[in-house]
Amino acid sequence: MEMSNLYDYLLHYNHHDGLWSAIPRDKVNDYWNDRKTKGVLKSKDIKTLIELITRGKEFIKKIK
């Protein structure tokens, strides 16, 4: 697992829907304009997002 991959994401918690979002840095502006932006990972548990991100982009592509 590569913890430095976390630098490529902004983590955001939305208390209205109870979800954490992991937003790729290159999609941050798009996310603030449209919460349904493609490429944003969502989970109720931040630990799940951290685990996915640390496994790398190739792993994330496989689960989509």
Three-state DSSP at 63 gives: helix
d(CA 52, CA 59): 8
Domain positions in the chain are 3-57
pTM: 0.87
Mean pLDDT of the chain: 93
> Contact at 8 Å (CB) between 53 and 45?
no
> Contact at 8 Å (CB) between 52 and 58?
no
d(CA 26, CA 29): 8
Q: Which pLDDT tens digit goes with each residue over 46-56?
A: 999 999 999 99
Beta bridge partners of 51: none
